[in-house]
Amino acid sequence: MIIFTLAMRGQMRTLIFNVLEPSFTIHRFERGCAIPEQVFASPFYSISQTEDELSIVAPETIQIESGKSDCGWRALKVVGPLDFALTGILAQVATTLALEEISIFAISTFDTDYFLVKGENLEKAKKVLVTAGHTIGRLKEPSKKKVPNNNK
């Protein structure tokens, strides 16, 4: 985990990050393509569709045929839930890493944020965050929660 401090409206807030296992691949499909079924078996995935494209982030262990893909991404998860009133979390983490030329792919969910960095930059990202006063902890595999079947 990484302990990250933010100044929020005069208060100091501490965020905890977990480094997720395994490595992830970012896939690009044409808009409207069918979502490969194997994606849904993963404990962590992200699907976004816009008017231009369909993007899927999934573990590298899931083999998907996509138009374009970029593998080797590692995920840093902010332990949530985060209140919607909090501001600047994404900007501050992104800026800290960008100043050291570490590219990110960000994913936001209802409860939290994820920062993906290329695997070859993970150690550098950790070092940068430690130098900025943060703490790095253990690796964490996404939990494999069973989703209730509401289609009875």
Domain with 79 in it: 2-28+42-140
pLDDT of 89 reads 81
Look at residue 55 and tell me if it is in a domain: yes
pLDDT of 91 reads 84
pLDDT of 57 reads 98
Query: DSSP for the chain?
Result: -EEEEEEETTEEEEEEEEEEEEEEEEEEEETTPPPPGGGGGSSS-EEEE-SSEEEEEEETTS----SEEEEEEEEEEEPSPPPTT--SHHHHHHHHHHTTT---EEEE-SS-EEEEEEGGGHHHHHHHHHHTT-B---EEPPP-PPPP----
Look at residue 86 and tell me if it is in a domain: yes
Tell me if 46 sits within 8 A of 73, measured CB to CB. Answer: no
Look at residue 37 and tell me if it is in a domain: no
CATH of the domain at 77: 3.30.2130.10
Look at residue 112 and tell me if it is in a domain: yes
pLDDT of 143 reads 63
Look at residue 148 and tell me if it is in a domain: no
> Which ranges of the chain have pLDDT less than 70?
1-15, 132-135, 137-152
Instruction: Put residue 128 in one of left, alpha, beta given phi > 0 → left and psi -120 to 50 → alpha.
Output: alpha
pLDDT of 2 reads 46
Q: Which pLDDT tens digit goes with each residue over 62-79?
A: 999 998 999 999 999 887
pLDDT of 100 reads 97
Look at residue 126 and tell me if it is in a domain: yes
Rounded to two decimals, what is the model's pTM? 0.81
pLDDT of 93 reads 82
pLDDT of 18 reads 84
Tell me if 70 sits within 8 A of 23, measured CB to CB. Answer: no
Number of domains into which the chain is organized: 1
pLDDT of 17 reads 78
Look at residue 65 and tell me if it is in a domain: yes
Q: Which pLDDT tens digit goes with each residue over 91-114?
A: 878 888 999 999 999 999 999 999
Look at residue 149 and tell me if it is in a domain: no
